[in-house]
Amino acid sequence: MAIFSAFFLFFSSLFASRLSLATEILVLRQQLLVLNRTVKQPKLRRRDRLFWVCLSRLWKDWRDALIIVKPDTVIKWHREGFRLYWRWKSKAPIGRPPIDEEIRELIRRISRENPLWGAPRIQSELRLLGFNVAEKTVAKYRVILLR
Distance of CA 120 to the CA centre of its chain: 41
Q: Per-domain residue ranges for the chain?
A: 1-40, 43-91, 101-141
> What three-state secondary structure class fits 66?
coil
Cβ(93)–Cβ(81) below 8 Å? no
pLDDT in tens, 11-26: 666 776 777 777 777 7
pLDDT in tens, 54-99: 888 887 877 877 777 788 988 898 999 989 999 988 887 777 778 8
CA dist., res. 73 & res. 57, Å (int): 14
pTM, rounded to two decimals? 0.42
